[in-house]
Structure 1
Amino acid sequence: MKRRRFIATCVVSAAFTGGMLTACNQGGTGTADSDGAQTLVMATSADYPPYEFVETSGGTEEIVGFDVDIARGIAERLGYEVEINNIDFNGLIPALQAGRADFVMAGMTPTEDRKQNVDFSEIYYEAQQTIVSQQNSGISTPEDLAGKQIGVQLGSIQERLAKDLQEEGGIAMEIVQLNRINEIVQEIKAGRIDAAIIEDAVAEGFLQANPDLQVAVIPAEGPSGSAIAFPKDSELVDDFNTALAEMQASGEIEELVNKWFRDRGN
């Protein structure tokens, strides 16, 4: 796929600094480069494969994944360049509110709470939530989480789901909040937590690399699926929705689903 009008990370160099993959141009949102093309800032939490993650090749780090390819497709249609900032998930909506990003793509579910603070595009991918634990843990349903320590990503839909299971489902479990999914998986493997709630596509990627783990699907209740988040009243929403509809109609979204969710590891 062509890569024109898209900047995944700094073209010259990029480095991790305080948990952020920092791009060259930090001059704010909606800037124009030397040839007049407008650059939009996309904020993400690049620890969520296959949606977004950091890939290292030849000493160069680049953020890649399903969301990144969709952003590339939208950018090509609308004539933008895109700069990606990598921050913790719980900082994504504050980044929009503070004007440090034009949009967020991070496998984010458009919950009613989030809609009070940001606007969303149409859903571009539906997913399920799962429980990940060690093999032979005896955990196969939400009820099996009672009395256990459960890891969730801070600020995520999985954190909200865990709290709902506590408050509405009456499941007495301890919720352990962590910033990144790989940290959560390592905590399971080390036996410091009993299980975690992770989206199915993300969990599948970690299971391929960790056959000592198992997964169980949680029946869906309430909002699900991923959408693009924008600052309130952003003029980009309609244009992005149009581009997403074109990508759906052309089969491009389905091709990316096959690439990132079905073909990886085969």
Structure 2
Amino acid sequence: MVMGSRASLLGIGTAVALLATQAFAQESTSRLDQVLERKVLNICTTGDYRPFSYRPDGANDFVGIDIDLGRSLAKSLDSEAVFIQTKWSDLLADFKAKCDVAMSGISVTLPRQREAFFSEGYLVNGKAPIVRCDDVAKYQSTEAINQPATRVVVNPGGTNEKFARTNLANAQIQLFPDNRVIWQEIAENRADVMVAESVEVKLQEKLHPGLCAVNPDQPLQYGEMGFLLPRGDVAFKAYVDQWLHLAKSTGEFDRIFDANMK
């Protein structure tokens, strides 16, 4: 028994030493050090998702909550924020190939978590419908939307499409490629419903008279948002989480959020 216990302890000690060695090796090659050295923070973003990331046709710069947060994160690293446009279907591939962080109103999902780290969540969100205001009473639940006569429009490649495919399979699902103007499909009666993040539909309600968000404070599905970070890079994740904590504690996050919701 003594020998067995001693062997077990030696095994535990070896495992701890191995973990410590791996942690040291990882820390010495952290993306944090690379960003500090190159003075550039490469940020993947879609540019099609108000109020988080948006770039109108012909514009040089992105605007939005995550764009302002990205610039704040870069400034904290004494670096320049360089935004690299992607699309939802290519988000993970582009992030892993080209970027240090992805910031675009990204929903935290377990499939994404398999391929990357997430920062601490910065916003509790959820899926909510937006419809023509005359139809609000008609589309109060997933069951009410999930009917053969309902035309559901979605942007391809992200969690909006996944929600529709999973929960609204009986409805007519229509893909529309440009998330910036997808709302016109509902306003002009080519579609009936879009289900998107509650923060987004609240803003689109303000921007499109005649469209109304349906129960955005009681979403159809719980959700959180976070920033995509390189998988396994503990040092970089710890830095981003600490920056985010301070941004929230000092009021910077609220100022950025409020400014982009107008």
Contact kept in structure 2, 1:111 and 1:223, CA below 8 Å: no
- Asked if residue 253 in structure 1 is aligned to residue 253 in structure 2, the reply is yes
- Tell me which residue corresponds to 2:111: 113
Q: Deviations over 1:17-69 (max 9, x none)?
A: xxxxxxxxxxxx99999xx752121111111111111258xx75310111011
Shift of 1:103: 1.2
- Tell me which residue corresponds to 1:85: 84
Structure with the higher fraction of residues in helix conformation: 2
**Whole-Å separation in 2 of the counterparts to 1:255 and 1:204:** 18
Q: What pairs with 1:70-149 in structure 2 (closer than 5 Å)?
A: 70-97=69-96, 99-137=97-135, 138-145=138-145, 146-147=147-148, 148-149=150-151
Give the AA of the match of 1:108. I
Higher CA-based Rg: 2
1:163 to 160, 165, 175: 165
Residues 209, 123 of structure 1: alpha-carbon distance in 2 compared, 3 angstrom cutoff: same
Contact kept in structure 2, 1:131 and 1:198, CA below 8 Å: yes
Q: Secondary structure at the match of 2:225?
A: coil
Q: What pairs with 1:188-199 in structure 2 (closer than 5 Å)?
A: 188-199=186-197
Contact kept in structure 2, 1:37 and 1:81, CA below 8 Å: no
> Unaligned 5+ residue runs, structure 2?
1-30
Q: Deviations over 1:55-107 (max 9, x none)?
A: 58xx753101110111111112122211001222221111123x111111111
TM-score, normalization by structure 2: 0.76
Cα root mean square deviation, aligned:
2.7
Shift of 1:222: 5.9
Q: What pairs with 1:40-59 in structure 2 (closer than 5 Å)?
A: 40-54=41-55
Residues 30, 243 of structure 1: alpha-carbon distance in 2 compared, 3 angstrom cutoff: closer
Shift of 1:190: 2.8
**Whole-Å separation in 2 of the counterparts to 1:66 and 1:82:** 14
Contact kept in structure 2, 1:153 and 1:179, CA below 8 Å: yes
TM-score, normalization by structure 1: 0.75
Q: Secondary structure at the match of 2:258?
A: helix
Q: Secondary structure at the match of 1:61?
A: coil
Residues 78, 32 of structure 1: alpha-carbon distance in 2 compared, 3 angstrom cutoff: closer
Q: Deviations over 1:113-149 (max 9, x none)?
A: 1111111100011223221112212323222211212
> Unaligned 5+ residue runs, structure 1?
1-28
Give the AA of the match of 2:226. A
Give the AA of the match of 2:126. Q
Q: Deviations over 1:203-238 (max 9, x none)?
A: 222222321112213644665121000232235222
**Whole-Å separation in 1 of the counterparts to 2:220 and 2:213:** 18
**Whole-Å separation in 1 of the counterparts to 2:190 and 2:50:** 23
Identity among equivalent positions (%) equals: 19
**Whole-Å separation in 1 of the counterparts to 2:155 and 2:225:** 16
Q: Secondary structure at the match of 2:189?
A: coil
Residues 185, 220 of structure 1: alpha-carbon distance in 2 compared, 3 angstrom cutoff: closer
Contact kept in structure 1, 2:127 and 2:222, CA below 8 Å: no
Q: Secondary structure at the match of 2:82?
A: strand
